[in-house]
Structure 1
Amino acid sequence: MKTIIKIAFIISGIVSSAITTTVVNAKELELDKVVAVVNSGVVLESEIDELVNNVKKQALAEKQSLPSDAALRTQAMEKLINDSLLIQMGERMGVQIGDAQLDAAIASVAKDNGGMTTEQFRQKLVADGVNYESYREGIRTEMITNEVRKANVRRRVAISPQEISNLVELMKQQKNADVEYNIGHILISFPDEPTQDDLVDAKSRADKVIDLLNNGSDFKKIAIASSGAPSALEGGDIGWRGINEMPTLFAELVDGKKQGEVFGPIRTGLGFNIIKILDIRGKETVEISEVKSRHILIEPSIILSEEKAEKILLDFLAQINAGEADFDTLAREHSEGPTATRGGDLGWADPSSYDPVFANALSTLEVDEFHPPFRSSFGWHLVQLTGKRNLDATDQINENRAYSLLFNRKFGVEAIRWMKETRDEAYIEIFDDEGE
């Protein structure tokens, strides 16, 4: 495999040299280097450099201290290897993020950043020294990897009716249900089937982390340097969580505790966990936006190509707009999946419960508006938004809310476990600094 990579590098080097010679009068330039092979993909030196630089810029803006460049590089490498695996998996699944979906996602990010337009947001990124095209493709990558992760992990999450019933009753009795905790998480991982030496080594490293934290070391800096969790490059910050939204083990530890307290190391099947209460706040009254929609789903197959599936839905949309057909009839006759018998009606739902691409498409629509055909992990969709409403989340203690909380609680743990299994089954080779 190394020989193949080196040959490919030589070829790319010849092309690159031919181009750069005319530009810089034959001045030698260091070529981009392959630093890891990930199945059929590669991770390049330039990709690591770009990610590390972005983390540094973010830390500078937030006045956050960082660990050594070597530690940052290691975490960047881990993320890019995972991304490469997920992107390749997405290609096999047929996951695509079109430019229209990408534009809508960036517009949403821009709006969340002080109500800016996409153009204003682009100008701000450029002014901050960010390459906008690289940023744009980075968002596309995140959307694809999130969809692939959700599609594969959600089938591993099992929730029984008894669990839902128990949580509903517990929520009614909880004293701290109106409190949210900003949790920091560090995972000192060990192999799936650890030896005694593996356990001793991981426990020793976890104890050292605890000592550093108890002696005043910066939690986020330590997390970036040592955590094996997906949140490592974010300084271990897993965001604001209510008691029922975090893993049960974490919830039992932090419930009723004070800001700044550190807990661990706590052994789980993934490794030794260390958590810290970064901040505490009263839970705000949040209105949950629910949407009502309907869709026509066409699933590509060996017989039906991706292009044909999209064209079918484009033809349906043209017929609907021309008044030659109605959505309900087309959905009943042609849509695949359980909603066909209801004319494609999906009912009222929290959009976050949907496939990310589907949810993003809905977020761009006004009531009664159609979205052009798009691809999700399920197939091609033609969607119409038929309604919007807001619900008071503080009063919505019911089975749907309990299910959502249980799902989110289990999803995070399963996502880490699934990623470890995916990496174990992959061919990954990391080269040394000389690319050998």
Structure 2
Amino acid sequence: MKKIKYYFLLLPLVVNAEIKLLDRIAVIVDDGVIMESQIKSQTAEILEQYKNQNINPPSKEILREEIIEKLVLDELQLQMATRVGIRISDAELNQTFIRIASGNNMELEEFIDYLRSQGTSYENLRENIRRQMLIQRVQQGRVSSEVSITDKEFEGFLQTDDSIKSLEPEIQLGQILVKTKEEANEILLKLDSGEDFQQLAINFSKSSSARNGGLLDWKRPSEMAELFANAVDGKDKNWISKPLESGAGFHIIKLIDKRGELVEFEDQWQVRHILMIPSAIRTDEETYEEITSIRERFIDGESFEDLAKEFSEDPGTSSNGGDLGWSGKGRYAPEFEATMLLTAVGETSEVFETQFGYHFLQVIDKRNKDITNDLIENRAYNMLFSRKYDEALENTLRSMRAEAFVEIKELD
């Protein structure tokens, strides 16, 4: 049987054929109830999962207790969603189902037909997913605001957590070792003039790596000598150090390359722009004509920075001369990015339109930036946030449960 993936779902879903039950109230939870059919349905699903995984289930009493506790917490969160007015629209739910179908390489209609062919109620599944989305929304709103991470805490996490250390890239360094600082400075002058690092290592280095062009073995920073690890921290590919003194002499090191899961280099552009926005007192045509005249003033020699400060209606950049700083692809409106990519460094675009209004831009510079450290820090922050979020969520749910009125009925 083909397995269907429900990627984001937090709770088990009933995918068996519907079972017609004579229902009874099993649990009263504040203003709501849990029906006996819900408990039986969850029990059947979980027992099926245990069977498929060849795991011995707990006793019926323990399993029922765990399921009731989970359903109680779900009911409390759904009641909170109702109180604060959280809603999941049909359009949002439809998009969720389209993503699920796509994840299973199906169109939505094909996915619905498949569910029904397996005896699964699309309508029940749809309502189950809506409930889970509501619960997620409640948790995000209630818990996320309680999670805070200080700079000191984050820095400590980066330094001490073993899972973060495993994300460090491996680095290959090149080394030139000489006896005196004067010799090292002479090597730097040769490098500044364009001479090849590896050839200079072969000619002048006193290290055993000289015959290999100064190339050292691949290592993570945590595995390097402290002198080298501190020097390369946060440095980009092709960086060359100043002379580093050790007991062996003076080292000049070059960051040759990086490799690892999160090693990534990104093309980035430094861009500045001027934006003018049509309004009730200035039509599209008048706005276009005005920004075109401003562009002509820049072409005729006026300062871009001064023109941006005087005329640009972008509140985020007008005060600094329209400078957007360095950015890669995917950060700007599609029309803005397309124009940026077509404009050479030092050139100025024609006037163009985006959803924000009319612009012209100038590409100041372009570079290929090593963003490995940014990706590692982002991964680390998400890991730390997730740990603290889970702790806060557990505390929140425990508090909600303790404050709730819950009556479990004794059923035959």
Structures share fold, TM-score greater than 0.5: no
**TM-score normalized by the length of structure 1:** 0.42
| Higher Rg | 2
**TM-score normalized by the length of structure 2:** 0.44
